[in-house]
Chain A
Amino acid sequence: MVQLGSCLLRGRGGNVVIRFALGGCTNRPFFRIVVANSRRPRDGKYLEQLGCLDPLPNAHGEKVAGLNLERLRYWLGCGAQLSRPAEKLLGLAGFLPLHPMTVTAAERLRRQRQREQQPEASPADSTAGPGTDTAPGTDTAP
């Protein structure tokens, strides 16, 4: 089968990306993990489908995701780029190392939750000294 990736360049460039294509209905998203030319529309014609992700938890409380790792390795070997959500998902899956933005987002969330807890704590606790603000554990920068 002839790969059409290069034929779609049309003098402006465009590369092969692995990204999410949104499907489903109103209030019911469903993502397909798809290899496509980056200049195609998000839900348009793609080269190959590599898997799927259901962002809503099912009856057993799990978000089901399928990944065709064999074909994923092939396309990464061909030089496909990954979109950021795709990278994050593969980091969660363990195929790639954990994405730094996942870690950063987690730490930001934790700091925000601590900040929310403190204004509740200090009016209740009037004898509280100048902030028993324990910094979230020593950040070991990668």
Chain B
Amino acid sequence: MAALGARCWAALPTRLRQLWALPVRRALAADAGDGKAAQARPAFTDEAVQALLYKMTGLDLHKVFRPVKKGLKPPHYKLMTEAQLEEATRKAIEEAKTKLIMPPVLKEREPIDDVLAEDKVLEGTETAKYVFTDLSYSIPHRERFIVVREPNGVLRKATWEERDRMIQIFFPKEGRRVIPPTLFKDENLGTVFQQDRHEDVLNMCIAQFEPDSPDYIRVHHRTYEDIEKHGKYDLLRSTRHFGGMVWYLLSRKKTDGLLIDMINRDLLEDATSLITLYHMLHPECQSAKEAKDGKLQGVDLIKVFVKTESQREGYIQLALQAYEEAMATSSAS
């Protein structure tokens, strides 16, 4: 019984597969077809894309290592020389990099619909269905046999929801509940968003759901939509969710708000990386062609992009003007 949905995992490079604890792909002739699709359109997992997204995420140590609610302990002070302080900062940056690894962005999984046996004789004998789980310790969860015997005698493979529930019952994972909390229903998400707790919602979502489950994708999209509507991009900056949010906005071409926010905060490099990514994702658009012809850099790239692709041209022009004035006054003084 091959791993279900093997196709969607096949396009990931080996480094990320090992990082996200997925079975490492063995070279097969059949994979040649997937390579062509990846070259035509850049995927979330390409090295270049990941590098740009990581640069945009930023590395604010104070936010990454902000106090997490734990048991009360008195603060711990150390006396250090300059060299030791630098060493400690370097180690902190390394740790922060591991905390900023982006969670996977995958397509929604195909529903399982496979009947193993039909025994009409059993119809009417039982009132409830039986769910059988294979508890062998050494099989990966994706390859585990979980079958359901219905009251009408049909023996079928379990659906993804049943699978997740059974695996959580027998092999519990920390932070995950058997029945997903009511927080993740659409009506309750709005309340949490009003309290500006988007990052907490996303962390809980990663703990609770599998990355290719429809609930995970729905919660993430809802969060990104809310952030984009209210312009609260800074909530996710310097967290591991920033890359996913940028990817979502880029694929739907809703980058104007983010661009304005970046220019207002004087993050010109991030703005240029955003537009570079946009051109990588949508190479057929006009600004991409102009940029490639003219090999534009920096502010010129933004100006070309603003003229051709953006909806809120006026706002972005204003922001750019304000930025240039600020630069002029700061360089003059």
Contact = CB atoms under 8 A, between A and B. Distances in A.
Nearest to A65: B132
Contacts of B165: 60
A13 B99 CA distance: 61
Contacts of B137: 68, 70
Interface string A32-75: 00000000000000000001000001011111111111110000
B125 A105 contact: yes
Contacts of A68: 134-137
A57 B128 contact: yes
B166 interface: yes
A92 B155 CA distance: 8
A65 B131 contact: yes
Interface stretch (A3-11, A14-22, A107-115): A107-115
B322 interface: no
Contacts of B149: 92-94
A69 B132 CA distance: 11
Given A70-B136, A71-B136, A62 B121 contact: no
A60 B148 CA distance: 13
B124 interface: yes
Contact of B147 (A94, A98, A107): A94
A1 interface: no
Contacts of A110: 124
Contact of A109 (B117, B119, B125, B170): B125
B135 A93 contact: no
Contacts of B155: 94
A65 B162 CA distance: 13
B interface: dominant SS: mixed
B20 interface: no
Contact of A70 (B131, B138, B179): B138
Nearest to A69: B134
A106 B122 contact: yes
Given A106-B122, A109-B124, A62 B132 contact: no
Interface string A74-113: 0000000000000000001110001000110111011001
B128 A61 contact: yes
B133 A65 contact: yes
A98 B122 CA distance: 10
Contacts of A67: 132-135
Interface in B202-239: none
A113 B124 contact: yes
Contact of B145 (A62, A69, A92, A98): A69
A105 B124 CA distance: 11
Interface string B304-318: 000000000000000
Contact of A63 (B116, B131, B134): B131
A106 B120 CA distance: 10
Given A93-B147, A93-B149, A94-B116, A63 B121 contact: no
B119 A64 contact: no
B124 A66 contact: no
Nearest to B165: A60
Contacts of A69: 134-136, 145
Contact of B128 (A51, A62, A103): A62
B129 interface: yes
Given A63-B131, A92-B149, 13 more contacts: A63-B130, A64-B131, A65-B130, A65-B133, A66-B133, A67-B132, A67-B133, A68-B134, A70-B137, A71-B136, A94-B155, A105-B125, A110-B124
25 contacts: A57-B127, A61-B129, A62-B129, A63-B128, A63-B129, A64-B131, A64-B166, A64-B169, A66-B133, A67-B133, A68-B136, A69-B135, A69-B136, A69-B145, A71-B136, A93-B130, A93-B147, A94-B147, A98-B119, A103-B121, A106-B121, A106-B124, A106-B125, A109-B125, A113-B124
* 8 closest cross-chain pairs (CB), A and B: A70-B136, A57-B128, A93-B132, A68-B135, A66-B135, A62-B131, A106-B125, A66-B133
